[in-house]
């Protein structure tokens, strides 16, 4: 665990050193849980967004995009339930004065039980070697059974408290589990209280005062309120989807873990409108489609898992998370929710406008049901970086830090490097770069030894380096160096464009999703 935390710290400082992510307002000592993306970060983020956008709007004939405003009529947040129910249960430690999310504290306690069980299994696996039967061990070992029992009891109690919205019971669980504040080390807890996560501001000024409005906490509502606009103007037939990428804002209390939990972040959401009664079928299909999208990146299938919700949100009749193995454990990157007709019905009620669809095949009107896929751009960004970050020992005792990013997502696709800064090599290198820059994000670098230049490109995840040497001037060939294997091959300059395009193309990545 300590080793993983170490990796995470290194990743955060790597992001700063190589222009991926900077703390916001850093010269003023920063602003809690707000971050800026640097020159490489913005390219990676844009590539992630394009991968998602194209997978939604190009691979599905019946999915179109919109870009709705961040400011929306305040009644929208009443209708969506956010004014009344978008809360976190908070608890304070009276000695340290630190504030925690009660549900997160209990989830961490559950994870501790899981860790204990896994440690017992690992120890036994070492002891028994090849003859070890893990399933049998988990099902019979008295110590493992004892911990599993405690874990399951806690899990059931926790799920019930969440579903019943029972704040007293959440506190009692924390007390009964003898959980201590990590800062003060004491169990001196306050009551659990609800805290609304929406930011508000004021718009305009009237004689009665300005109107209180909210910064949207999700992009989804912009889709719901435009459902009929898109359906009518696009002559869309159910089932169809509306996709959107945009900023969202939440006044997160436990804001930590870098870009994992931010106060200003970006979402990529798609609402898929279906016939009532068909939603669970579509829910299963979208689960499958979305996990394929993640796995096509090649970061390792074992790094993903589904986590079905114990507590369903007020609008859902099924929900799951796609979790990725971050350096701090498996964490939610994407949520897939069957939202029933909750949102459209509620907007009908609050706006007084009909939001129904006339189905020509059934010859009847109804309020469509909705499957939502909702993924955080920043969490996706973090998962891609965490899954790509490697420290490798090299021959001769040297080490290198390399980001083995999926080539289609890499900020820079190739670096063009003259072997030396003389003899006409820089001119030749620039000529090649100037030709290729129309197809790819290319960098030209002539400073320092070739080894140092390779290291700099490894650190930002550039999949290819092209070296121009004296022979190039005569044989019109260059050396391509592959980032992951460090192998080099000699290829004609004329073939560069097609060789690189094949490997870094987003099109090829999209084909792998096999939609």
Binding site for ligand GAP (CB under 6 A): 218, 220, 250, 252, 261-262, 265, 267, 269, 332-335, 372, 374-376, 378-379
What are the Cα distances from residue 183, in Å, to 35, 61, 103? 25, 53, 18
What is the rounded distance in angstroms from the CA atom of residue 409 to the CA atom of residue 412? 9
Question: Nearer to ligand GAP by C-beta: 372 or 458?
Answer: 372
Query: Which residues, in sequence order, are CB contacts of 448 under 8 Å at separation 6+?
Result: none
Question: Nearer to ligand GAP by C-beta: 260 or 464?
Answer: 260
Question: Nearer to ligand GAP by C-beta: 249 or 440?
Answer: 249
Question: Nearer to ligand GAP by C-beta: 345 or 508?
Answer: 345
CB of 261 to ligand GAP, least distance (A): 4
Question: Nearer to ligand GAP by C-beta: 113 or 260?
Answer: 260
Determine phi and psi for 476, rounding to 5 degrees: 55, 35
What is the rounded distance in angstroms from the CA atom of residue 492 to the CA atom of residue 347? 61
Number of Cβ within a 10 Å radius of residue 48 = 24
What is the rounded distance in angstroms from the CA atom of residue 107 to the CA atom of residue 116? 14
Q: Sign of torsion, CA 291 294 300 304?
A: negative
CB of 496 to ligand GAP, least distance (A): 37
> In sequence order, what E strands does 140-204 have?
193-196, 200-203
CB of 265 to ligand GAP, least distance (A): 4
Tokens 């956010």 found at: 82
Burial class (CB in 10 A: 0-12, 13-18, 19+), 439: middle
Contact present, 144 and 121 (Cβ < 8 Å): yes
Query: Which residues, in sequence order, are CB contacts of 69 under 8 Å at separation 6+?
Result: 222
CB of 493 to ligand GAP, least distance (A): 43
Question: Nearer to ligand GAP by C-beta: 337 or 428?
Answer: 337
> Which of 122, 123, 156, 121 lies closest to 140, judged by CA?
121
Question: Nearer to ligand GAP by C-beta: 65 or 169?
Answer: 65
Query: Which residues, in sequence order, are CB contacts of 79 under 8 Å at separation 6+?
Result: 343, 346, 347, 349, 350, 351
Residue nearest to ligand GAP (CB): 376
> Which of 101, 97, 257 lies closest to 183, judged by CA?
97
What is the rounded distance in angstroms from the CA atom of residue 271 to the CA atom of residue 219? 10
CB of 334 to ligand GAP, least distance (A): 5
CB of 80 to ligand GAP, least distance (A): 9
Question: Nearer to ligand GAP by C-beta: 158 or 265?
Answer: 265
What are the Cα distances from residue 403, in Å, to 63, 65, 124, 261, 482? 33, 31, 35, 22, 12
CB of 369 to ligand GAP, least distance (A): 15
Question: Nearer to ligand GAP by C-beta: 49 or 400?
Answer: 49
CB of 294 to ligand GAP, least distance (A): 12
CB of 90 to ligand GAP, least distance (A): 15
CB of 84 to ligand GAP, least distance (A): 16
Question: Nearer to ligand GAP by C-beta: 35 or 113?
Answer: 35
| Range list of H helices, 18-67 | 39-57
């Amino acid at each position: 665990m300590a080793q993983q935390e170490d990796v995470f710290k290194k990743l955060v400082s790597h992001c700063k050193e190589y222009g991926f992510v900077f703390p916001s307002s850093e010269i003023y000592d920063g602003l809690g849980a707000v971050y800026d993306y640097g020159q490489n970060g913005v390219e990676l983020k844009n590539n992630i967004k394009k991968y998602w956008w194209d997978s939604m709007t190009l691979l599905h004939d019946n999915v179109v995009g919109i870009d709705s405003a961040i400011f929306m009529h305040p009644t929208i947040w009443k209708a969506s339930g956010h004014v009344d129910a978008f809360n976190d249960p908070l608890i304070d430690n009276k000695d340290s004065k630190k504030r925690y999310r009660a549900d997160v504290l209990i989830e961490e306690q559950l994870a501790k039980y899981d860790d204990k069980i896994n440690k017992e299994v690992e120890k036994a696996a070492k002891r028994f070697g090849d003859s070890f039967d893990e399933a049998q061990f988990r099902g019979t070992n008295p110590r493992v059974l004892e911990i599993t029992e405690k874990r399951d009891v806690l899990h059931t109690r926790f799920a019930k408290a969440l579903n019943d919205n029972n704040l007293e019971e959440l506190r009692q669980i924390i007390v009964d589990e003898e959980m201590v504040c990590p800062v003060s080390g004491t169990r001196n807890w306050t009551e659990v209280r609800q805290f609304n996560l929406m930011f508000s501001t004021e718009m305009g000024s009237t004689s009665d005062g300005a109107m209180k409005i909210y910064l949207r906490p999700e992009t989804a509502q912009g889709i719901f309120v435009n459902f009929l606009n898109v359906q009518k103007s696009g002559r869309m037939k159910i089932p169809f989807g509306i996709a959107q990428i945009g900023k969202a804002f939440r006044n997160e209390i436990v804001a930590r873990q870098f870009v994992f939990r931010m106060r200003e972040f970006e979402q990529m959401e798609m609402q898929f409108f279906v016939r009532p009664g068909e939603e669970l079928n579509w829910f299963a299909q979208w689960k499958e489609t979305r996990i394929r999208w993640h796995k096509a990146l090649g970061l390792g299938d074992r790094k993903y898992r589904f986590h079905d919700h114990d507590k369903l949100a007020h609008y859902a009749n099924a929900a799951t998370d796609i979790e990725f193995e971050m350096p701090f454990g498996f964490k939610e990157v994407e949520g897939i929710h069957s939202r029933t007709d909750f949102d459209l019905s509620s907007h009908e009620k609050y706006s007084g406008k009909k939001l129904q669809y006339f189905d020509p095949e059934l010859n009847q009107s109804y309020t469509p049901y909705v499957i939502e896929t909702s993924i955080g751009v920043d969490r996706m960004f973090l998962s891609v970086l965490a899954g790509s970050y490697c420290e490798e020992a090299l021959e001769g005792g040297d080490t290198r830090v390399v980001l083995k990013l999926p080539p289609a997502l890499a900020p820079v696709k190739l670096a063009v490097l003259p072997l030396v800064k003389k003899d006409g090599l820089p001119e030749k290198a620039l000529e090649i770069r100037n030709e290729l820059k129309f197809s790819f994000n290319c960098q030209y670098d002539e400073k320092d030894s070739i080894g140092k230049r390779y290291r700099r490109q490894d650190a930002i995840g550039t999949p290819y380096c092209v070296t121009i040497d004296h022979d190039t001037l005569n044989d019109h060939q260059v050396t391509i160096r592959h980032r992951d294997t460090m192998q080099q091959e000699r290829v004609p300059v004329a073939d560069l464009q097609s060789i690189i395009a094949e490997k870094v193309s987003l099109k090829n990545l999209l084909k792998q999703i096999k939609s």
